[in-house]
A and B are shown apart, each in its own frame.
Chain A
Amino acid sequence: MSDVLKVPTMAEFMAQGKQPEVLFWVGCAGSFDDRAKKITKAFVKLLNNAGVEFAVLGTEESCTGDPAKRAGNEFLFQMQAATNIEVLNAYEVQKIVTACPHCFNTINNEYPQLGGNYEVMHHTQFLKTLLNDGRLKVEGGKFKGKKITFHDPCYLGRANGEYEAPRDLLRKLEVELVEMKRCKTNGLCCGAGGAQMFKEPEAGTKDINVARTEEAVGTGASIVATGCPFCNTMMTDGVKHGEKEGAVEVMDVAEMIANASEL
C-alpha cells in the first residue's frame, strides 16, 4: 500500500523550503484506530488523486485536547493546545483539513483565542471545494441508486452548522438519500461526544448508540454514512448490537467517494 499512498510530512516540506497547500490533521482516531485508519487512507487517496499538495505533522501531531476539555480537564486541554499551536505556528500553517469533527471544532473555534489562527475545514467541506473546482470527480459507481442515510455528527452539525457539505457529496454519488426523523439540527447524538467515547455510560435503560442505530436502520438504508470516526465506531457497534452486520454498513463519506471511484 505504501507505494500508492503519498503522505509527506510538514518537516519534509520545510526541508525543501516549500509550503503545502493544506495541512491534513489526521487526529488520534485517524492515526491509531483500526477502523478510522481506513477513513484516513481513503481521504489520502482522494487527495493524491486530486493532486492536492498536502502534508501531515506525523509524529509531531498530538491530541487537540478535545476529550480532555469536554471531560472537564481544561488544564490539560490548554497544555495540548499550547503545544500544538506552537508546532503549527512554527510551520506557518495557514490552512488545515481534518476528517474528525472534534479536531475541526477545537482547532477552528477554541484555538484562536489561544494564539492559533488557521482556516480549518472538515474533510467533507474540503472535498466539496475540490469537486467545485473540478479537481475531484464524484461518481455513483456501486452506490448509484442505493438507499443511504446520513448521521449528522454533533460537532459538525449542531456545533458548527454544517449539514449540507456531506449531503451534497452523497447526492453527487447519485444515492437515494433518506433522512432519519431526527436529522440536521434535531440530529440525535451517537453517544460518543463529551469524552463518553472513553468511559462506560451511566446507568440507564439503553445505550445511546443503540437508539441511534435503530433509527438509522429503521430508514431501510443499506449504508449509514457519517463524517466522524467516533460516530463511525458507535454506529458500527450499534449495528453489531442489532445483529445487522450483513444488511447495513457504516461508512465515512470519504470512503464512499474513494470506493465509488475504485481508488
Chain B
Amino acid sequence: MQYIPNILFFILLVAGVGYFAKNIRTVIRNIKLGTPVNAGGHKKERYGNVARIALGQSKLIKRPISGALHAVVYVGFIIINIEVLEIIIDGLLGTHRIFAFLGGFYDFLIGSFEILAFLVLVAVVVFWIRRNVIKIKRFLSPEMEGWPKQDGNIILYFEVVLMCLFLIMNGSDYALQQIGAAHYVEAGSYPISSLFSGIFEGLTESSLVIIERTAWWLHITGILIFLNYLYFSKHLHILLAFPNVYFGSITPKGQFKNNQAVTKEVKMMMDPSADPFAAPPADAPEPAKFGASDVMDLSQVQLLNAYTCTECGRCTSECPANQTGKKLSPRKIMMDTRDRLQEVSKNIDSNDGVFIPDGKELLKDYISPEELWACTTCNACVEACPISIDPLSIIMDMRQYLVMEQSAAPNELNVTMTNIENNGAPWPFNQMDRLNWSKE
C-alpha cells in the first residue's frame, strides 16, 4: 500500500512521456516525406545562429513589447523546469523536496522560481489581453479564425493553471512547514506564495496536506498533458525552434536555390553531342516533377518549418501584399502546409503506412494561385520570422509547378517570358538595339 503513489506516478510518467514520444516519431516520419536536404558543413555558423536567434531570441526583441513578454515566459519556462526534475524524483522515490539539502542555494532556486512564475502569470495575462481585448491586427487575419485562435488561448490558459498550481503547492507547503508538519522539511523561500499564506490560516494539517498533494499531483499531471498537447498545437515551436534555426538558410536571402532537375535538362539541351531522338533507357526513373504541388514535393526543411510555425503573424504583418489587401498571407502558407501534412499523416496511419492518393493537394485545395502570384519575393516575411522560417521558398516552389508543369502563369507573365525567350529582355525590344542608349 505504501508504494501506491510511487507506482501511480510511474504509470502517469510513462504514459505521458510515451504518448508524446509516439507523436514525435510521427512528426519525424512526416518531415521525412519531404525531399532530403544537404545541410552538412557550416556547423559553426549554424550553431551560432541557434545561440543567437533561438536561444538569444535576437529577432523577437525587434518588437520590444511582445519580445520582452516572450522573454519572461521563455526564461520562466526553462528555469521552472528544474523544479519539474525535483517533482519527478520525489514522485518516483516518494521523497519530498529532495533537493532541500542544497540549503541556501535551494532557497534561492525556489525563490526565483516563484518570482518567475509570478512574472509569467503577468505576461500571460497581457498576452491574453492583446489577443482578446486589444485585438492586435496580426491575430485577427482570416486564417486565425476558429481553431488557431482557440489554440492560442488554450496555451495561455494552460500556463495560468500550471503557474497557479505551482504557487498553491508552494503556499500550502510553506504553511505546513510553519506548523512543523511531519514530512514537510523546512526548505525553500517563498516570496510570492507567502504573500497569500493568509488563506491557509486556521486550516488543519490534514486539510493542508490534501491541498498541497492535490496541487502537486495536478501540477505534474498538467505538465504532462501540456507536453502532449504540443503535437496538436502551434506550440510545438518550443521544441522545434532550435532544430529549425539550425537548418535555416545561411546563404544571402536573395539567393534562391537553383532547381537541379532543371539544370540537368538544360545541360542536355545544350549538349551538341546529345541525341535528341534517343529514347530513355527502359529502366530510367520517372522524370522529375518540376516545382511543388503537394507536401511531398517540398523539402524536409520546409516541412520542419511548417511544424515549427507558431502563427505569431510577424511575417504576414510585414508582407507588402498582405498590407495592401491582397489574399497572400505568408503565415497561411505555413499553416496550410502543416494542415495538409497532417492530413497526409492521417491517411498514412489509416492505410498501413502507405499514402493512398486522396484527390487533394496543397496547391488549390489549400493554397490558391492568387495567393502565390501576389508575392513580390521581397523577403520581408523571411526577415520577420523570429525562428528562421522561409515561407517564400514554398511560394517559389509552387510557382515553379504552376509555370513548368501546368503552364498556368498569368497571361502578362507569359508575354514577359516569351519576350525574354525571343529577344533577351522582358519587353519586346530587339537585342540588336541594346546599346542604342549610348548613341541617343
Contacts and interface: CB of A to CB of B under 8 A. Distances in A.
Interface of A: 1-2, 5, 7, 9, 26, 28, 30-33, 37, 40-41, 44, 56, 58-59, 61-63, 65, 67-76, 78-80, 82, 105, 109-110, 113-114, 154-155, 158-161, 185-189, 191-208, 211-212
B325 A58 contact: no
A199 B325 contact: no
A5 B378 contact: no
A76 to B, nearest CB: 6
A72 B379 contact: no
B251 A159 contact: no
Given A70-B396, A110-B256, A28 B325 contact: no
A203 B373 CA distance: 11
A155 B421 contact: no
A127 B100 CA distance: 67
B374 A201 contact: yes
B320 A9 contact: no
B258 A110 contact: yes
B376 A113 contact: no
Contact of B409 (A31, A73, A155, A202): A73
Contact of B416 (A37, A40, A71): A71
Given A72-B396, A76-B421, A192-B376, A67 B251 contact: no
B315 to A, nearest CB: 13
A262 to B, nearest CB: 20
A65 B251 CA distance: 20
Interface stretch (B16-24, B105-113, B115-123, B425-433): B425-433
A28 B425 contact: yes
Given A59-B435, A65-B420, A71 B376 contact: no
A61 B375 CA distance: 28
A154 B378 contact: yes
5 contacts: A31-B435, A62-B431, A71-B409, A154-B378, A191-B320
B403 A72 contact: yes
Interface stretch (B169-177, B261-269, B276-284): B261-269
B343 interface: no
Contact of A63 (B326, B374, B375, B425): B425
From DSSP, what is the main secondary structure of chain B's interface residues?
helix
B420 A67 contact: yes
A158 B378 contact: yes
Contacts, number: 220
Given A70-B399, A109-B254, A208-B376, 11 more contacts: A31-B436, A37-B437, A62-B431, A67-B417, A67-B426, A71-B413, A159-B253, A159-B255, A185-B383, A194-B376, A198-B413
Interface of B: 251-256, 258-259, 262-263, 265-266, 269-270, 290-291, 318, 320-321, 323-328, 370, 373-380, 382-383, 396, 398-404, 409-410, 412-413, 415-417, 420-421, 424-427, 429, 431-440
Nearest to B415: A198
Contact of B439 (A2, A44, A69): A2
Contacts of B265: 75
A75 B262 contact: yes
Given A78-B263, A199-B410, A202-B374, A73 B403 contact: yes
Nearest to B262: A74
B403 A202 contact: no
A59 B376 contact: no
A155 B378 CA distance: 7
